[in-house]
Structure 1
């Protein structure tokens, strides 16, 4: 099923103007915002904080008031936010613990994502020995392993030497699927150069 992420007059955090946009399945759109604001917006979209106003829709479902596990939105936080005490394998599998209904299906899919993102040699390693690029790929794999319909990526500082985002995102959906809708919160010029479709988030004067 082709699922579109829709933001409707969404004021994600105080000090920002409302934003409306569509991200169709298999497409990537950049929401251009300073790093601090981009992180706050990403947290609102995945359900870790409430918006000021407006609605968030995943396909025909209004998920604005739903808890994170029920949104079917995968999340790649800034820096990856990997659990330092867990191996790469256990980090990737971690999110499935809260998604019982997809676990059996996701186990085979996880192995595919690990192969596609070239992470097999790192599975027994802890995050602190990985490069920044590898940590980013692990965070991508962890989000994709739960079979999300939408993926929100908080990418304030670019991907270092991790390759091109437009090369990695097509690897995150099964071959017979229409692809995941990807929204990237960033102001990084190198990342934006890879994403022709973008929406600028208006920022009001910061109160000090």
Structure 2
């Protein structure tokens, strides 16, 4: 189910150099960038904004011009962006209602995610009643409940009580090679567990930067 993620000369917003990424199946790569450029790239990846130029490939499939629902890219926005009028449980299931194939193929997967992320006590609560860590886990469960092939996480600052590698392990479907992840951040604490980092051109990356290479 998981797939590679590639970008070819992708320019999310003007005044940034083209971005070329090659993320292997099950790998996590960090795009090291400031908050505004990182969010711009993440939104383009998710299909919420059009790029200036360039292409996005998921498993060899060109998704650049596809709407969000057809990309098979899960997205965790900065701050989670949970719908305030819905409970945590309804936020998690929100995207599934619009994807018939998910209901047919992965019935019950959301319940598995709720269990793995220890969200059962929060399902009836609205976002303002949740802790920051709980809101992040709800947003992660919402993104992964639709069984995406790639996950994009916009995380400008660390979330107290939410260690990303552990959470990603919990959200990987059984018998899968792991989630293919693009993590957008410039915060060293967020990036601490990520080996492969790619600086967004015209941004100064913190700490050592390694190219995103296939294992």
Q: What's the TM-score bracket when you normalise by the shorter of the two chains?
A: over 0.9
**SS at structure 2 position matched to 1:185:** strand
Q: Which residue of 1 aligns with 2:11?
A: 11
**SS at structure 2 position matched to 1:107:** coil
Q: Which residue of 2 aligns with 1:183?
A: 182
Q: Which residue of 2 aligns with 1:124?
A: 124
For structure 2, list consecutive stretches of 5 or more residues without a partner in the other structure: 204-215
Query: How far off its partner does 1:31 sit?
Result: 0.3
In structure 1, C-alpha distance between the alignment counterparts of 2:2 and 2:115, rounded to whole Å:
25
Cα-to-partner distance string for 1:33-80 (whole Å, 9 max, x where unaligned): 100111111000111111111110000100011110000000000000
- Is the contact made by 1:26 and 1:170 (CA closer than 8 Å) also made in structure 2? no
- Is the contact made by 2:2 and 2:148 (CA closer than 8 Å) also made in structure 1? no
Query: Where does 1:127-138 land on structure 2 (aligned, <5 Å)?
Result: 127-138=127-138
**SS at structure 2 position matched to 1:75:** strand
Cα-to-partner distance string for 1:116-167 (whole Å, 9 max, x where unaligned): 11111111111101111110000000000000000000001112222x1111
Q: Which residue of 2 aligns with 1:144?
A: 144
In structure 2, C-alpha distance between the alignment counterparts of 1:160 and 1:17, rounded to whole Å:
33
Q: Which residue of 2 aligns with 1:156?
A: 156
Q: Which residue of 2 aligns with 1:101?
A: 101
Query: How far off its partner does 1:106 sit?
Result: 3.0
- Is the contact made by 1:11 and 1:51 (CA closer than 8 Å) also made in structure 2? yes
Q: Is 1:32 aligned to 2:50, yes or no? A: no
In structure 2, C-alpha distance between the alignment counterparts of 1:15 and 1:203, rounded to whole Å:
9
- TM-score, scaled relative to structure 2: 0.91
Query: How far off its partner does 1:97 sit?
Result: 1.5
Query: How far off its partner does 1:2 sit?
Result: 4.6
Query: How far off its partner does 1:170 sit?
Result: 1.7
- Is the contact made by 2:2 and 2:180 (CA closer than 8 Å) also made in structure 1? no
In structure 1, C-alpha distance between the alignment counterparts of 2:80 and 2:2, rounded to whole Å:
27
**SS at structure 1 position matched to 2:65:** coil
Backbone CA RMSD of aligned residues: 1.2
- Is the contact made by 2:113 and 2:141 (CA closer than 8 Å) also made in structure 1? yes
Q: Which residue of 2 aligns with 1:47?
A: 47
- Is the contact made by 1:7 and 1:22 (CA closer than 8 Å) also made in structure 2? yes
**SS at structure 2 position matched to 1:42:** helix
In structure 1, C-alpha distance between the alignment counterparts of 2:170 and 2:18, rounded to whole Å:
32
In structure 1, C-alpha distance between the alignment counterparts of 2:68 and 2:49, rounded to whole Å:
10
**SS at structure 1 position matched to 2:49:** coil
